Structure 1
Amino acid sequence: MPATLADRLGQRLHISPNTLLIVTAAAIGLGAALANYAFYWLIQGAHRLFFHVIAADVLGAVTPRGQHFQLSEGRAWLIALLPGLGVVLLYFLARVFPGEVYGYGMPRFLERVNLKDARLPARNIVIKMLSAAITVGSGGSVGKEGPVVQIGGTMGSVASGLLGMSTERTRLLVASGAAAAIAAAFDAPIAGVLFAIEIILIGAFELQVFTMLIVAAASSVALTRGLLNVPSVFGEVPVLDFPAGWQLMLYLGLGVLLGLAAWLYNTLFHRIGRLWKALPLNQHLKPFLGASLVGLLGVFVFGVFGDGAEWIARLFAASSDDLPAILDEMWVPGDMGGHYLLMGLGLVALALFKMLATATTLGSGGAGGVFGPALFIGAALGTAFGLAMMSLFPGAVQDFRPFTLVGMCAFLSASTHAPLTSIFLMFEVTNRADSVLPVLFASVLGTALSHKLNRESIDTLELAERRVDMHLGKEERILVITPVAEVMRTRVERVNIKEPLRQLVARVLESRHTHFPVVDDEGHLRGIVGLSDIRSVLAQPEALDFLIALDVAATDVVFVQTDDNLRTAMSKLNFRGFSEIPVVDADGKLAGMLAQIDVINAYNKKILQAKL
């Protein structure tokens, strides 16, 4: 086996494989920071093109108001065209990269990383950057954090491929890239590490993994803070007073609300996605139709456009006196100053509209993620709950913004089933220890309730519907990610269906094998002959001269295909108590044989490789 680039570098630099892995993770972290920087400015450019140039200057649908926009009287309906124009650009991108642009890519990403070879093509970086920037910039209701995770993960996969590392190490480097990407986007290294553990690695934890993730996230944040100066997703978070004592119990109520809302969000997202898949329309027409529907909704509910980060930042900076003006810009008309419950109901309705807009954008084929919309929905619901508490307990609760911040993080937790990520994100965003208890109460209760209602998160529900189990242990995952074609024996003693039985018996007596696949002239599997079949015929020696192989072969053959995994193969081997089983290709032609001992040996080698 030739030496890989990783082997040669280790020898030349006199460092161990684990040290080289950590150095590579640091380099990936730096690359993810640069990618996040480029992605940020690409989104800013797309937003300027669609909203400043097209919507404001050309169409006159919106009017700039400082750093924000508001719909123009008389021409507001033209804003409905914006998301559709973005999809037109996506169409040309999809023609260049067919099958890789449309739709929510996180489930496929998780499946590839955890259950397959974790090899991601370098073109993913370009595809995700361009497609998500166009969708977000043109007003599509999607987030940018999902694509940036896949961009960082692809960097890890590409680096591993260049170094010639194993599948298990590739998986760790992909997770390192994802951790670094989230850390750079939120200026939150610990949250980035926990995101990779809870969501990318589905809860797997080892000391070496943790070290790699920490190094990648730290190097990414260091470069972002020191040189790139990319603002955090939330902008500047004000100093807030978080409650103590009995007021903490209010956050348990918020947790219940957010757990139910997260279950509703996840359910709507996937059911609407299934409806779009079942719609008998051209794959390029569906995204345009979905974007047009979101555009029409945006005419009446301007707050559904984009990922919602701008609105979150404005809610953080607002007082209760500022809320009516913000709500008026989002969608709620009229003077609502001082009417906390009415404003709260308006925010709840806005959250529901955002759920529908996100499910429609991504379900129809728009490109992006669900992270950003989840943060916005949580912030809106948290603000609504805070306003309700201000109305019910006017002396004890005087600021809704702690509920806004906790709601944002806790809803993310309940939707993605990642409570640790959300808790530490809260801590790093606020830099306040007293913020931990409120978000801990709300996140843990909300996540527990959401998990009780549906075991799967928003990222794994689609996979579960396809019977793809993302909650496998490390050992079982090795069987799942290893294809039969990698382990089977291709040098097989095959028997033609027309072979005379006497000739077959002579071959069997000289062979060390016990089972012989029977094929036709084209190589298609027609049956299998075992020693027991031969013994039953030897009781009638006169039959040896007029019977052929097909006459004694068992034609009800249990087989596996070359693209099946070893777990599937082992289940079939164990079901009938076979020691080996035929393997066929997609055309039904014999490709080889797979024995139990082959599976066991391959498993042991994979375990050893994972430890190296």
Structure 2
Amino acid sequence: IGAMTGGSFRALSTVLLPGLTGPRGSYALVGLGAFLAATTHAPLTAIFLLFEMTQSYAVAIPALITTILSLMIASRLEPESIDTLGLTAEGKSLHAPADRLVLERIPVATVYRREFEAIREHQPLPEILRLVRQSRSATFPVVGGADQLVGVLSFAALRTLVLEEKLDPHLEARDLCDPPALTLTPDDGLGEAFRRMEAEGLEDVPVVDPANRRRLLGMLSRADLIAAYNRTVATLGATSIPDWLRTVEPQWADRYRVMSIEVPQRWVGRTLREIDCRARYGVAVLAVHPPGQQDERGYELPDPDRPLEPGDVLVLAGTAEGLRLARAA
């Protein structure tokens, strides 16, 4: 099809511009490359294939122009290539959905529980069993002085221990707990936290201070992650980002808020990577609305290396104090 289209274009150019028309074969090859790039969404493959077939640099410039134009038009007509169209029809997409990408930008700090039931390292076994019996938690952090994380004690391990015939009542929590298989920090993203918890098969994970990995700050459970994911799907999946910003509750979690602001003057010309909002202000940039785009689809995922422009609108998520500092920047 591409070769026939290229040859037909050559016949047309012979009538309109007879003095500038090249050989029929070159038009057919360029048309072939354009069609290949459009259907596979792989322009480099088409360009290298044409060069291998011709061994001539003369075809490079026409091939570059036609493959790029054909890819732009094909992407507008159909976002999927001929290789991924069948998978998309079966519900298998190679592109990460928007809710998952947003989860990557939501830090653990907005979700983890700061109030939790901990066991002191010197607590004897009878007191531990009494605490576990009265609690609904399945995993308990064992802490020492100054909330230093000693280990983790799970309900499953205790259940196995209780079934033993000879049980020493003088056993203490530090003798029964296991070293934590995984710890998270408040700066970790929810997407990364979910993948690591799934890999380790954990239901609850301690959240520690990044400056002192033994200082316990709270606990993050699989239920917390699922709840955050469901909120993201409910808000971003059903509505556009502008509608979400108009209707979402001011407080996502206990301290978590979402708001949109126009890019501060001091940020203009700088990239998000240079500004480092999460480290400096404790907020995450969920989306950016470039200037000059009025429709709701103008919101896009932030490119950390794109310099911010006057008129850019940023969708920020974080604590009320962090958002206040970001607005005052």
Q: Which has the higher contact order (CA 8 A, sep 6+)?
A: 1
What TM-score, normalized to structure 1? 0.27
Which is richer in helix?
Answer: 1
